[in-house]
Structure 1
């Protein structure tokens, strides 16, 4: 599923437990190769806008580095704002809750499909962007070679989980600190204002319904059981456990709640992007670990 070198370094972490990377996700890692002075990534690297804004830039050749990886092509998921159409290109801002970055897509006037695809793109729509990270006049932006609407909001959740996982993997592989988060200092990402999907209403409720709670800040809406289970996964000993915690271990520590209630709480935390399954369907670990 992942490249051989990636699997040897623990890339099978998400290979079970109901978290199966898509084809596009596996392609993100296939092009990573080692070279003197760092790692060169010739594939798609999943990033947040925060990571792009904090990427280290080499002044000599305008190369960007994130977690010790040479950034070339990136993939982002977010909401479209301030779309502008011109004869030769379409530009817009993409907001993923961690910040905003400008995206530009050049249009071939003879490519009818490409023109129609970009014309149909509206403000307030969630999209996945594949593109090249560059800097122009000191401002970072994305030159897109693919922009498509998100039709399944699980893709939004998956993208942010993937960003966290790749950040941890690359940081560990390059001997860097893993205390920082691609989602923010406390993983509390602010949602875009007046979010709308597909041009229809919905407001923040529609946005929060599909976003991880680290992004949608739903911690305040957890019931007591969910809060206690979440607290167990956030303990230092739990974060340090490579395979995470077994469901039975969590249930044993949850006095006053039966196993089914604990399993429901775990399922809630998984759906909200706060924990993920590791070696099997019974072991889970915090995305902050």
Structure 2
């Protein structure tokens, strides 16, 4: 579904209020801060920092790099940078990109962006005073007229997955105070599938069950955010989840796949 943008990733599963000040939990948050999350411009405007040095968060989830898409409604050319004002129907956000030292290199890398073009911007969220903007590491024109719609759907899918667990659970049966659709699905794992893990501590067994319950477990691996979202519903802390993941990796029960944030069961 992504049209040149990022992956579903996301963001840290560990809410800042639950994250330990150091150790394995903090290390995993740092790794996740390099992930790319698709956002609407309204979501960019809703994201916030606890303080100027804190990670950006949106609805309790850490936001690393972001990818946005929108119509260019204004370009402000300055001595050291270009400032693009984007709109996507949900809000307005500025994207800033810095000039290269060589003008030819600048044109080759960034292209000739014009007002009224649709562009995709990937970068990091920044703030100057009360104004938020995206500090661009990549900008490109959108050639596909459907790309902006795909992006909106992708941003919505990621947000709902972070809130409710990955798709594939029992739809329509979740109510406030109950387990997520993701947790409901994990309970459907056959006992035979878990027999070889009965010697593991309860939290490690639950993580294995979560990994096996996901449709992507035998493809690209399951994102740590999906795992944490499920087991945190049962009162587990970020530190204990991190320790359990590390223990499972040390024992060879699980391994990382495409990056350090995606896990797969060793079978």
The TM-score normalised by the length of structure 1 is 0.48
Partner residue, 2:106: 114
Could you report, residue by residue, the CA deviation over 1:20-79 in whole angstroms, capped at 9, with x for unpaired residues?
Answer: 5557443x5278575862854321111111111111321262432113221221100100
User: What does 1:239-250 correspond to in 2, within 5 Å?
Assistant: none
Q: Within 5 Å, give how 1:1-289 maps onto structure 2.
A: 20-21=1-2, 24-26=5-7, 28-29=8-9, 37=19, 40-59=32-51, 61-110=53-102, 112-116=104-108, 118=110, 120-173=112-165
Distance 1:108 1:162, change over 3 A: same
Name the SS of the counterpart of 1:51 in structure 2.
Answer: helix
> Any conservation in 2 of the 1:57–1:65 contact (CA below 8 Å)?
yes
Task: Give the direction of change, closer, same or farther, for the CA distance of 1:138–1:24 in structure 2 (3 Å limit).
Answer: closer
TM-score norm. by structure 2 comes to 0.52
Instruction: Write out per-residue CA displacement over residues 90-134 of structure 1, whole angstroms, 9 at most, x where no aligned residue.
Output: 111011111111111001122624335546111000000001101
Most deviating of 112-121 and 129-138: 112-121
Give the distance between the partners of 2:80 and 2:52, measured in 1 at CA.
30
CA distance in structure 2 between the aligned counterparts of 1:125 and 1:69, rounded to whole angstroms: 31
Q: Rate the CA distance shift 1:173–1:60 in 2: closer, same or farther, 3 A.
A: farther
Tell me the CA shift for residue 84 of structure 1: 1.6
2-structure distance, mates of 1:115, 1:137: 30
Alignment RMSD: 3.2
Against the structure 1 CA distance between its residues 130 and 103, is the aligned structure 2 distance closer, same or farther, given a 3 Å change threshold? same
Aligned partner of residue 114 in structure 1, secondary structure: helix
